[in-house]
Amino acid sequence: MTSTRQWQAADAAHYLHPFTDFKALAAKGTRIITKGDNIYLWDSEGAKILDAMSGLWCVNVGYGRQELIAAATAQLETLPFYNSFFQTATPPAIELAQLLAEVTPPSFQHVFFANSGSEGNDTIVRMVRRYWDLQGRPERSVIISRRNAYHGSTMAGASLGGMSGMHAQGGLPIPGIVHIEQPFWFEQGKGLSRDEFGIEAAGWLEAKILEVGAAKVAAFIGEPVQGAGGVIVPPATYWPEVQRICERYDILLVSDEVITGFGRTGRWFGCETFGFRPDLMTFAKGVSSGYIPLGGVMVGERVARALIDEGGEFNHGYTYSGHPVACAVALANLRLIQREGLVEKVRDDTGPYLARHFEALAEHPLVGEAQTCGLMGALQLVKDKRSGEAFDKALEVGMVCRGHCFGNGLIMRAVADRMIIAPPLVITRAQIDEMVALIRQCLDLTLADVKRRGWM
Ligand code: PMP
């Protein structure tokens, strides 16, 4: 049997991991994850870990679901692949398109398949610009996004995203993409109520539209709740005001639902939780619970009618658009979500339960803010609870906390000093208790470290 050390040596010798300092990881040694069941993982040393991040915001129905495995196996045996380019399609792709039209808001009757969120957002850029071409307005090409947004890692995805570290490598953003500030009340809303701040933050969109010139702006894109940016839940006033501004200037509104789609926020889609009606939606991750790569774009009637009725050939697509095995797994996944009522469970039961217990962590001496939305949550670690003063970034207190989580059987992610969770939607109340107790224990360990080192 291969030992952990052998895995680590081979990994360090050959495998370049995403978003990783290769040399630092090789020196430290990769943790090898070997098995999953329900909300738990096991590593090659046999340690059991509660996965409070659902893989990477995706394993929403939990690990080891036989329905998804059986769907993949059956489709692999019947027809492992055929494309949709040659005026052809496969039954799972058609059935999934039909089911997506059913579970998304009524204005969405069409889907374009990709394999990931990044590819979905590349499709968004192509589609938005094609739409305005067809309106005879090709100069409407600028897309507005937000700082600290995450929309993927392809050239277009990383450009739409607002991560300065990503822009610094590879000459990004590509032309025609501009950014405004994020609606992060804890950092920027001092002196304003959350609702007042939501209106102010939406106003930054209008200011940018006027700066660029409304006649040049094609679309605004945002995640209903910024995920990778640190689970930043916007004030309730934000999205309805953004919608009004987009309508005022006739700008397409794009909701990136890669994390928030398929029940994460307690409704099928984040736009429903936050009360807005996008023209386009990107999806990935939860559509197949991460069992197999799948993503895409839901195309609302306004854009679909233009593309279908006036567009002729749309010169865009991927070999694996509508991959039959991925679509078969997604169909099984969505039917399981429907059958088990997981969206309603998050809305009525586990979401409110998590809110009560996780938000109680706000009393911990290290925590400045504790926030949830459905089954996603964030704890802002601060030096001074009363003033909200942050730790010196260089201390990397979030990473200290993440280290304690990792060492104590819990996967929680650190975004600077913001600790975030997004557990599988199948998590039970008892498992939420177990998770919150682990989080509290890791906060205590972090606090002891911080005090011992004289950082607080
Ligand atoms: N959009 C959002 C909101 C995301 O969170 C992510 C991935 N975390 C992406 C797009 C990119 O998806 P992928 O990694 O599947 O390309």
Q: Supply the mean pLDDT for the chain.
A: 98
30-68 residue pLDDT tens: 999 999 999 999 999 999 999 999 999 999 999 999 999
Does the beta carbon of 229 lie inside 6 Å of ligand 1? no
C-alpha dihedral sign at 210, 216, 218, 220: negative
238 pLDDT band (50/70/90 cuts)? Answer: very high
Under CATH, what is the fold of the domain 67-339? Answer: Aspartate Aminotransferase; domain 2 (3.40.640)
Q: Looking at ligand 1, which atom is closest to the CA of residue 284?
A: 15
With cut-offs at 50, 70 and 90, classify the pLDDT of residue 324: very high
Distance from residue 440's CA to the centre of ligand 1 (Å):
29
Residue-range domain boundaries for the chain: 31-61+341-452, 67-339
The answer to whether the CB of 427 falls within 8 A of the CB of 39 is: yes
Beta-carbon neighbour count of residue 240 at 10 Å? 16
- The residue to which tokens 């006027």 are assigned: 210
What's the rounded Cα separation, in Å, for the pair 337 and 346? 11
Task: Verify whether ligand 1 is closer than 6 Å to residue 337 (CB atom).
Answer: no
pLDDT at residue 195, as a whole number: 98
Q: How far is the CA of 111 from the centre of ligand 1 (A)?
A: 18
The answer to whether 29 and 3 are in contact (CB under 8 A) is no
Q: What's the 228 CA to ligand 1 centre distance in angstroms?
A: 8
**Tokens 């950092």 belong to residue:** 187
% of the chain with per-residue pLDDT over 90 = 99
Instruction: Report the distance separating Cα 417 and Cα 393, nearest Å.
Output: 8
Average pLDDT over residues 101-128: 98
**CA 283 to ligand 1 centroid distance, Å:** 9
What is the C-alpha to C-alpha distance for residues 252 and 328, in angstroms, rounded to an integer? Answer: 31
pLDDT tens digits, one per residue of 369-386: 999 999 999 999 999 999
Asked whether the beta carbons of 448 and 398 are under 8 A apart, the reply is: no
CA distance 354 to 241: 28
- Give distance in angstroms: CA of 286 to centre of ligand 1: 11
Q: What does the block give as tokens for 98?
A: 């039909």
The superfamily (CATH) of domain 31-61+341-452 is Aspartate Aminotransferase, domain 1 (3.90.1150.10)
User: 53: Cβ below 6 Å to ligand 1?
Assistant: no
- pLDDT, residue 30, reads 97
Between CA 342 and CA 54 the distance in angstroms is 15
Which residue out of 182, 285, 373 has the highest number of ligand 1 atoms within 8 Å of its CB and is therefore the one to mutate?
A: 285
Q: pLDDT-based confidence at 269, cuts 50/70/90?
A: very high
| Cα gap 319→78, rounded to integer Å | 19
From 59, 118, 125, give the residue whose CB has the most ligand 1 atoms within 8 Å, as the site to mutate. 118
pLDDT at 53: 98
- CA nearest ligand 1 atom 13, residue: 117
The pLDDT score that the predictor gives to residue 211 is 98
Ligand 1 atom closest to Cα of residue 116: 15
Q: What is the mean pLDDT of residues 397-413?
A: 97
Pocket test for ligand 1, best of 259, 271, 373 (most atoms within 8 A of CB): 259
